[in-house]
């Protein structure tokens, strides 16, 4: 019986069943009708009665058990992200970038009339606006001009597909000569240095990576070589405690190279597999910063001639093109072996990964997708491109 029928009916029953409908939770055109039992207090027409409806949450949980497809999506939002697999985490980490991409894409496509010069100009502008970098945008547009398939494409969907396929291909092909793997010493400890300007996420990344490698069965040691910033050592010590890994520290303003030296000694003496070195993001000036890094490297190499295997540059994705400038600065003065692009979850500028790879020829090895210890992933160009552009094709 519907609610209206119920009111018309002069019921003398104690309770009556009514169907309630929550328009907001319609799924696939099917209204989620739910039957609730209503207690009749005053079965007099026109008189107000209280109907306690089940909350929307209850309705959704119950509906989940009824339909299989809903079960999957609902469970994702309810259970903590721990159960998310890697691609879901990447997908949700890239939400902001994807949203901007699809907005730009939709407005670009909305303006589409025919594949002419204006079309290519608009495409170039759209790509630049999406932070893929001018060089990449021009290269891509040029290649598309010659693309026969594009000229033969008959409708918006086909055109969209040709372009997006090209973008995915660009990500994939850039990675072909790129060594995005992490390198480890054949014997003895591997030293991994984290460098980058202040606030980009070096210390947090060490926290995440030390948990990652500890879980993989490696013995990890940390060295708190940022003796410059007050609180930096404590921050790393906190990560060490959280992950149950030892942290080698020095006094405030102590020579960072001496902390590195102690770290290397500890790693050797305790037969650790990996020593992560946390460095300062800011010294008196950039020259000092680079000199300090060079000194740390010398100290490491003196003890372990093949180390450091990795000098990872952390870049904050939210800074967009600025990150590319920072990378150039570091690349010129340090032997950076790879990039960690942090805070992708906090930005719509995820497209920045293209110019970093395209213009700097440095492999992106990891992506940071949040502040939690598990919010880090090895960078996979294919997965990244699919996550970024896949939705454009289905819209
Ligand atoms: N949302 C988000 N926040 C992050 C990520 N990585 C780091 N952060 C946050 O960024 C801030 C700075 O991180 P730190 O690890 O202290 O940065 P740092 O490079 O060590 O900074 P300095 O020691 O000052 O040079 C902290 O609030 C982190 O929680 C990430 O992937 N996503
Ligand atoms: Mg730090």
Our mutation pick for probing the ligand 1 site, out of 204, 205, 368, 376, counting the most ligand atoms within 8 A of Cβ, is 204
Mean pLDDT value of segment 333-358 = 89
Nearest-angstrom CA–CA distance, 316 and 324: 10
pLDDT tier, 31 (very low <50, low <70, confident <90, very high otherwise): low
Instruction: Tell whether the model's pLDDT for residue 167 goes beyond 90.
Output: no
Nearest-angstrom CA–CA distance, 321 and 336: 18
| 247 C-alpha to ligand 1 centroid (Å) | 19
Kindly state whether residue 347 falls inside one of the protein's structural domains.
Answer: no
Nearest-angstrom CA–CA distance, 182 and 166: 28
Mean pLDDT value of segment 111-120 = 85
| Vertex 309: Cα angle to 304 and 315 (nearest 5) | 135
Kindly state whether residue 73 falls inside one of the protein's structural domains.
Answer: yes
- Provide the domain count of the chain: 1
Instruction: List all residues 6 or more positions away from 387 whose beta carbon is below 8 Å from its beta carbon.
Output: 87, 90, 91, 94, 98
Considering every ligand atom shown, identify the ligand nearest to the alpha carbon of residue 370 and give its number: 1
Instruction: Tell whether the model's pLDDT for residue 108 goes beyond 60.
Output: yes
Q: Which of 155-164, 237-246, 252-261 has the lowest mean pLDDT?
A: 155-164
List residues bridging with 223 in a β-sheet: 248, 277
Instruction: Tell whether the model's pLDDT for residue 200 goes beyond 60.
Output: yes
Kindly state whether residue 235 falls inside one of the protein's structural domains.
Answer: no
Kindly state whether residue 321 falls inside one of the protein's structural domains.
Answer: no
For residue 345, give the nearest of 204, 241, 245 by alpha carbon.
204
pLDDT tier, 38 (very low <50, low <70, confident <90, very high otherwise): low
- What is the C-alpha radius of gyration for the chain, rounded to an integer number of angstroms? 28
What's the pLDDT at 299? Answer: 97
Mean pLDDT value of segment 171-195 = 89
Token output for 368:
């940071």
Contact (Cβ atoms closer than 8 angstroms) between residue 272 and residue 221: yes
What's the pLDDT at 263? Answer: 98
Nearest-angstrom CA–CA distance, 332 and 355: 17
What's the pLDDT at 39? Answer: 54
Nearest-angstrom CA–CA distance, 43 and 50: 11
For residue 234, give the nearest of 258, 220, 251, 212 by alpha carbon.
251
Kindly state whether residue 385 falls inside one of the protein's structural domains.
Answer: no
Kindly state whether residue 8 falls inside one of the protein's structural domains.
Answer: yes
**289: enclosing H helix or E strand:** helix 286-303
| 16 C-alpha to ligand 1 centroid (Å) | 58
Kindly state whether residue 68 falls inside one of the protein's structural domains.
Answer: yes
Our mutation pick for probing the ligand 1 site, out of 347, 371, 372, 377, counting the most ligand atoms within 8 A of Cβ, is 371
Considering every ligand atom shown, identify the ligand nearest to the alpha carbon of residue 200 and give its number: 1
Assess whether the C-beta atom of 346 lies below 6 angstroms from ligand 1.
yes
Which residues contribute to the annotated binding site for GTP? 196-203, 278-282, 342-345
Number of helices (H), then strands (E), in the chain: 16, 10
Nearest-angstrom CA–CA distance, 205 and 278: 9
Domain extent for 41: 3-79
Q: What three-state secondary structure class fits 320?
A: coil
Q: What three-state secondary structure class fits 88?
A: helix
Assess whether the C-beta atom of 263 lies below 6 angstroms from ligand 1.
no
Kindly state whether residue 56 falls inside one of the protein's structural domains.
Answer: yes
């Amino acid at each position: 019986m519907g609610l209206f029928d119920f009111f018309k009916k002069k019921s003398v029953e104690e309770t009556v069943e009514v169907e309630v409908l929550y328009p907001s939770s319609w799924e696939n055109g099917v209204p989620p009708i739910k039957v609730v039992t209503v207690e009749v207090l005053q079965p007099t027409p026109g008189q107000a009665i209280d109907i306690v409806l089940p909350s929307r949450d209850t309705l959704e949980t119950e509906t989940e058990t009824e339909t299989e497809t809903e079960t999957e999506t609902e469970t994702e939002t309810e259970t903590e992200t721990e159960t998310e697999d890697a691609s879901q985490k990447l997908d949700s980490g890239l939400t902001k970038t994807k949203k901007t991409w699809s907005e730009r894409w939709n407005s670009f496509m909305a303006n589409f009339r025919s594949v002419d010069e204006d079309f290519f100009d608009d495409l170039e502008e759209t790509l630049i606006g999406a932070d893929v970098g001018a060089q990449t945008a021009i290269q891509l547009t040029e290649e598309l001009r010659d693309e026969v398939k594009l000229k033969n494409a008959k409708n918006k969907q086909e055109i969209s597909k040709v372009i997006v396929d090209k973008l995915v291909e660009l990500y994939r092909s850039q990675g072909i000569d790129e060594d995005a793997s992490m390198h480890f010493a054949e014997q003895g400890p591997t030293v991994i240095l984290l460098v980058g300007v202040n606030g980009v996420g070096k210390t947090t990344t060490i926290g995440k990576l030390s948990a990652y490698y500890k879980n993989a069965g490696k013995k990890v040691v940390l060295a708190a070589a940022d003796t410059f910033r007050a609180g930096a050592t404590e921050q790393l010590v906190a990560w060490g405690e959280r992950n149950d890994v030892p942290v080698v520290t020095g006094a405030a303003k102590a020579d960072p190279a001496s902390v590195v030296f102690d770290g290397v000694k500890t790693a050797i003496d305790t037969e650790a597999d990996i020593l992560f070195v946390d460095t300062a993001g800011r010294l008196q000036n950039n020259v000092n910063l680079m000199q300090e890094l060079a000194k740390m490297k010398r100290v490491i190499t003196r003890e372990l001639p093949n180390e450091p295997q990795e000098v990872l540059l952390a870049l904050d994705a939210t800074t967009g093109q600025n990150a590319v400038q920072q990378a150039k600065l570091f690349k010129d003065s340090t032997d950076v072996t790879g990039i960690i692009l942090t805070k992708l979850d906090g930005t719509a500028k995820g497209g920045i990964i293209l110019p970093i790879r395209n213009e700097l020829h440095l492999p992106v090895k990891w992506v940071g997708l949040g502040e939690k210890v598990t919010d880090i992933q090895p960078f996979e160009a294919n997965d990244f491109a699919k996550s970024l552009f896949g939705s454009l094709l289905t819209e």
